[in-house]
Structure 1
Amino acid sequence: MSEQQVRVADHPERDRFEITVDGELAGFADYRRTPGHVDLVHTEIDPAHQGVGLAGTLAKTALDSLRAEGVQVTPSCSYIAAYIRKHPDYLDLVPESARADL
């Protein structure tokens, strides 16, 4: 993966963050937006690109972007929820009332 160009970008017109490898779509994280809140509902990595850390890169970049926006995050996607459990520095993005569910 280090020799390839990996890029994550928000595509609000498609309601998702996308990760590309050398310009080719490798995965995405779908979301639903409401004012001040984003529900991350599904993350998927193309089977041809699995096992090299792209899902983690996608989750980290999406969460960092949402933090910069100042919105709260609901991790409905099981992968994103697991990522936040593993990286508790993102727990502050989750509304207090939903933290116990993680």
Structure 2
Amino acid sequence: MNIDLEKIQVTHNPAENRFETWIEGELSKLDYMEDRDSILMMHVGVHPEHRGQGVAGKLTRVALEYARDKSLRVIPMCTYVRAYINRHPEYAELMKQQTGE
């Protein structure tokens, strides 16, 4: 199945600490933990049938925009999120250096 990313709606589900999208009844999500000034992006999980079609990127972009809007520093615990930020330097200023702060 080819996914039209423009039609994919990512929603913020703070009760579950995740950004999520449902495609054909299957959940894909980005899990996070948030405190008053930072957000730890823990894991991006995309249903196997929907991998390789940009779903993880859209979840990550929406989560990073949320962090930017709330002036949160991003701590990318997930390797996908870290790689996404490296590929999209417009988000680099959001990344918090892990220096034991």
Q: Deviations over 1:7-58 (max 9, x none)?
A: 1111110011102236x34310110111111000111000011121111111
**Higher strand residue share:** 1
Give the count of matched residue pairs: 97
Structure 1 residues 15 and 21, CA, compared in 2 at 3 Å: closer, same or farther?
same
Q: Which runs of 5+ in 1 are unaligned?
A: none
Q: Distance in 2 between matches of 1:3 and 1:81?
A: 21
TM-score (norm 2): 0.85
Q: Deviations over 1:56-92 (max 9, x none)?
A: 1111111112111111110000100000011111011
Q: Which runs of 5+ in 2 are unaligned?
A: none
Structure 1 residues 4 and 36, CA, compared in 2 at 3 Å: closer, same or farther?
closer
Q: Distance in 1 between matches of 2:92 and 2:17?
A: 22
CA RMSD in angstroms, aligned pairs only: 2.0
TM-score (norm 1): 0.85
- Contact 1:45–1:54 at 8 Å: present in 2 too? yes
- 1:11 paired residue number: 13
- Identical-pair percentage: 30
Moved over 3 A (4+): none
